[in-house]
Chains A and B, each alone.
Chain A
Amino acid sequence: MSALELRGVSKVYGDGPTEVHALRNVDLSVEAGMLVAVMGPSGSGKSTLLTIAGSLEVPTSGEVLVDGVPVANMSRNDRARLRRRSIGYVFQDFNLLAGLTSVENVALPLELDGVTAKKARVAGMHALEELGIGDRASHFPDELSGGERQRVAIARAVVGDRHLLLADEPSGALDSVNAEAVIRLVRAACQRGVAGVIVTHDAQLASWADRVVFLRDGRIVDQTMPPPGPESLLSPGATS
């Protein structure tokens, strides 16, 4: 059973002459412990795919299953709990709460979930430190640089016991060293059994994924094959 499955998902925004087919009949499944990257040009439907996978939006047709359960069959409450407890979501524009400090932003989902404030704070600090911004823990979002804000958003998405990590351009505001720290954290989450989907323009970031899926005009047009062992790169004559 897949941690996340999209079956024949389509999404149409608007109607009549302004109608936009953002997704067309998309099938995608992500096993626990796997990281999938979605690449595609601007407007190809990447963010739409992610918001539907995270049940932040409903598809026009098709269905989404999380741990084998169709999201459409869940009650409002169950869906809200799924989003809060099981899904870590990194928005393209970060979506941090302006009135909370970095560490409070990170700890919030844990607290909402019943973890004590103290424990949540410790977990939050730990995630921030791993991303090299422990010293920004008591800053508010408007006191952070773009790249720092992005890392807070990542930290918030990976803390706690998530099943599914969905990240929209998680390295957009980062230099390559920090982008690597972020993706290593995502990989570590996947190694603990989290299923991950990252949306990105950045091929270096995408190349950390087990599978890369290519979107064009709302359709999956191609995907990478499981890579052969890296030894093949080191055989004599492979590089010249």
Chain B
Amino acid sequence: MSVRHALLALLSEGPKYGLQLRQEFEARTGEVWPLNVGQVYTTLRRLERDGLVESDDDGTEEGPQRGFHITPEGEAELATWLRTPPDMTSPPRDELVIKVLVALALPGVDVRDVVQVHRRYVVELMQQWTRLKEDAPEHDVGFLLVVDAELFRLDSVIRWLDAADGRLARLAADAKDAPEPAPAPSLSPRLRRRVGMRR
């Protein structure tokens, strides 16, 4: 999350003080992203330097009492940022994928058991998030959206684990039928790098 753009968004509603910005940021993100005062002031100074916000007074006063407003350049920057898709082309180094791949390569490890351990852990995490969602007031949309995002992210992990499990089950069934041992799974160097595996 870009603190810079979050502050611009808050200022686009009207002029605000530094302290107020911090409180509102935390309230809007359902207090899931704590922010320290230092971060707020550093970011505001950079925004000011870049001409995206201006301080309401002559700059003699520092600290929580200093007010800021957004400039037209700031508004334009915010509008562009909102519509610019974040970079999702290169997947993050996914530790879970790596663990399952390693389990696949190790003799004597039941990969499906490894998958189940992770599946249970992720479902337990989802239970906790869902509890939060259940108890949250309906009007707290910001918080509910944050929780939904987390639930969908974890859900996609479960789906991947389920798909992996399905493939492994089919592989095991085929191996039982076929007299030949199934060839050892291998990954091209390019793919290895893509999932972040080191040799």
**Which A residues have a C-beta under 8 Å from some C-beta of B?**
39, 41, 184, 187, 201-204, 206-209, 212, 214, 216, 221-225, 227-228, 230, 232-234, 236, 239
A222 to B117, CA, bound (A): 9
On chain A, the residues within 8 Å of B132 by CB distance are 230, 233-234
Among B116, B123, B132, B165, chain A packs the most CB atoms within 10 A around the CB of B123
Name, among A203, A208, A222, A225, the residue most crowded by chain B CB atoms within 10 Å (CB to CB). A203
Q: A233 contacts B165, CB within 8 Å?
A: no
Task: Determine which residue in A41, A207, A222, A223 has the highest number of CB atoms from chain B within 10 A of its CB, and name it.
Answer: A207
Cβ-based interface call for B119 (8 A):
yes
Task: Answer whether A203 and B122 are a contact pair too, CB < 8 Å, given A227-B127, A227-B131.
Answer: yes
- Rounded to whole Å, the gap between the CB of B29 and the closest CB of chain A is 10
Q: Which chain A residue has the least Cβ–Cβ distance from B131?
A: A230
Q: How far is the CB of A204 from chain B (nearest CB, A)?
A: 5
Residues in A neighbouring B175, C-beta threshold 8 A:
none
With A222-B119, A239-B150 already in contact, 18 other A-B pairs whose C-beta atoms are closer than 8 Å: A39-B123, A201-B162, A203-B126, A204-B126, A204-B130, A206-B126, A208-B127, A208-B134, A212-B123, A222-B120, A224-B120, A227-B131, A230-B131, A230-B132, A233-B129, A234-B31, A236-B34, A239-B33
Shortest CB-to-CB span from A200 to chain B, Å, is 11
Task: Kindly count the residue-residue contacts between A and B in the assembled complex, taking CB atoms under 8 Å apart.
Answer: 73
CB distance from A239 to the nearest CB of B (A): 6
| B124 beta carbon closer than 8 Å to chain A | yes
Chain A residues with Cβ below 8 Å from B165 are 41
Determine whether the beta carbon of B34 is less than 8 Å from that of A230. Answer: no
Per-position 1/0 for B156-174, Cβ under 8 A of A:
0011001001100100000
Q: In the bound complex, do residue B32 and residue A41 qualify as a contact, i.e. CB atoms below 8 Å apart?
A: no
Q: Is residue B154 within 8 Å, beta carbon to beta carbon, of the partner chain?
A: yes
Asked if B39 is an interface residue, CB under 8 A from chain A, the answer is no
Interface centre among A39, A222, A225, A227 (most CB of B within 10 A): A227
CA distance A196 to B17 in the complex (A): 51
B interface residues (Cβ-Cβ under 8 A, vs A): 31-34, 112, 116, 119-120, 122-132, 134-135, 150-152, 154-155, 158-159, 162, 165-166, 169
Contacts of A204 in B (CB 8 A): 126, 130, 151-152, 155
> For the complex, what is the distance from the CA of A168 to the CA of B150, rounded to whole Å?
26
- Name B116's contact: one of A206, A208, A214, A227 (CB within 8 Å): A214
Establish whether residues B116 and A221, one from each chain, have CB atoms under 8 Å apart when the complex forms: yes
Offer 17 A-B interface pairs, CB within 8 angstroms, sorted by A. A41-B162, A184-B134, A203-B122, A203-B123, A204-B126, A204-B130, A204-B155, A206-B123, A214-B116, A221-B116, A222-B119, A224-B127, A227-B124, A230-B128, A230-B132, A230-B135, A239-B150
Nearest residue in B to A233 (C-beta to C-beta)? B128
Give A212 to B120 CA distance when docked, in angstroms. 8
A227 to B122, CA, bound (A): 12
Assembled-state Cα–Cα distance A222/B126 (Å): 16
Bound: A41/B134 CA distance, A: 27
Q: Name the residue in B119, B130, B150, B162 with the highest tally of chain A Cβ atoms < 10 Å from its Cβ.
A: B130
CB-CB under 8 A from B126, the residues of chain A are 203-204, 206-207
Query: What are the nearest 8 A-B pairs in CB distance?
Result: A207-B126, A203-B158, A207-B130, A230-B132, A227-B127, A230-B131, A230-B128, A207-B127
Minimum CB–CB distance for B2 against chain A, Å: 15
A212: B residues at CB distance < 8 A: 120, 123, 127
Chain A residues, CB < 8 A from B135: 230
Distance, CA A232 to CA B120, complexed state (A): 17
User: How far, in angstroms, from A228 to B128 measured CA to CA in the complex?
Assistant: 7
Q: How far is the CB of A147 from chain B (nearest CB, A)?
A: 19
The smallest beta-carbon distance between B84 and chain A, in angstroms, is: 22
Report yes or no: A207 in contact with B151, Cβ–Cβ below 8 A. yes
Min CB distance A44 to B, Å, is 10
Which of B122, B158, B159 has the most chain A CB atoms inside 10 A of its CB?
B158
Q: Which residues of B contact A234 (CB under 8 A)?
A: 31-32, 132
Do residues A232 and B128 form an inter-chain contact, with CB atoms below 8 A? yes
